[in-house]
Structure 1
Amino acid sequence: MQRGASIFSSMARADATISIPENIEGYDENSQVPCVLLRDEGELQKRIHVIGSHDLSLDIIRDMLKIRHPSMEFLSTHTGSLSGLFAIKKGISDLCTTHILDEREGVYNIPAIKKYLEHIPCILINIAKRMQGLIVKKGNPKGIKGITDLGRDDIRFINRQPGSGTRFLLDAQLKEAGIDKHNIRGYDREESSHTAVAVMVKESVADTGIAIYGVTKIFSLDFIPLVEEDFDLLVTKTFTEDERFTMLIDLIQSKEFKGRLDSLGGYNTKETGTIKYVNG
Structure 2
Amino acid sequence: MSDISYTTEEIGKLLKVSKVTVYDLIKKGDLPSFRVGKQMRVDAADLEAYKNREKASPFKLPSDFQERSQPVPAAPFASNSTGNPTIVITGQDISIDILARQMEKHIVGARPLRAYMGSLDGLIALYRGECDMVSTHLFDGETGTYNLPYISRIFIGSPFLVVNLLTRHTGFFVAKGNPLKLRGWSDLKKPGLSIVNREKGVGSRVLLDEQLRLLGMKAELLKGYGTEESNPIAVAAKVASGEADVGIGNEKSATMIDGVDFIRLIEERVDLVMLKKPENHEWIQAVVEILNDETFRAQLRAIPGYDLSKTGQIMLET
Give the TM bin, normalised by the shorter chain.
0.7 to 0.9
**Residue 127 (structure 1) shift:** 0.3
Q: Select 1:241's aligned residue among 263, 268, 281.
A: 281
Partner Cα distance (1:136, 1:91) in 2 = 39
- 1:83-122 aligned within 5 A: 83-122=121-160
Measure how far apart 1:133 and its partner are: 0.4
Deviations 1:224-256 (A, max 9, x none): 01100211000111264244x455333322223
Deviation by residue 1:62-94 (Cα, 9 ceiling, x = unmatched) = 455567789865443232211111111111111
Superposition CA RMSD, Å? 3.0
Deviates most, 116-125 or 170-179 = 170-179
Counterpart in the other structure of 1:232? 271
- Unaligned 5+ runs, structure 2: 1-34, 40-76
Mapping for residues 59-78 of structure 1, pairs under 5 Å = 59-62=97-100, 64-65=102-103, 74-78=112-116
Identical counterparts, % of pairs: 30
Structure 1 residue 146: Cα displacement: 2.9
Q: Normalising by structure 2, report the TM-score.
A: 0.66
Question: What is the number of residues matched between the two proteins?
Answer: 245
Report if the CA contact (8 A) 1:158-1:186 is conserved: yes
**Structure 2 counterpart of 1:262:** 301
Give the aligned residue type for 2:311.
T
Query: Does the 8 Å contact 1:160/1:190 carry over to 2?
Result: yes
* 2:28 aligned partner: none
- Mean CA deviation greater in 209-218 or 192-201: 192-201
Separation (CA, whole Å) in 2 of partners of 1:200 and 1:67: 38
Higher relative contact order (CA 8 A, sep 6+): 1
State the shift of 1:271 in Å.
1.1
Q: Is the 8 A contact 1:78 1:192 kept in 2?
A: no
Q: 2:303 and 2:222 mapped to 1: Cα distance?
A: 31
Q: In the alignment, which residue of structure 2 is the partner of 1:126?
A: 164
Say whether the 8 Å CA contact 1:47–1:72 is kept in structure 2: yes
**Which shifted more, 150-159 or 94-103?**
150-159
Q: Give per-residue Cα distances to partners, 1:137-177, cap 9 Å, x unaligned.
A: 33334443333333345432111222222222112222333
Deviations 1:26-62 (A, max 9, x none): x95516xxxxx999612x84643212x4323223324
Question: Is 1:271 aligned to 2:305, yes or no?
Answer: no
Mapped partners of 2:147, 2:123: distance in 1: 10
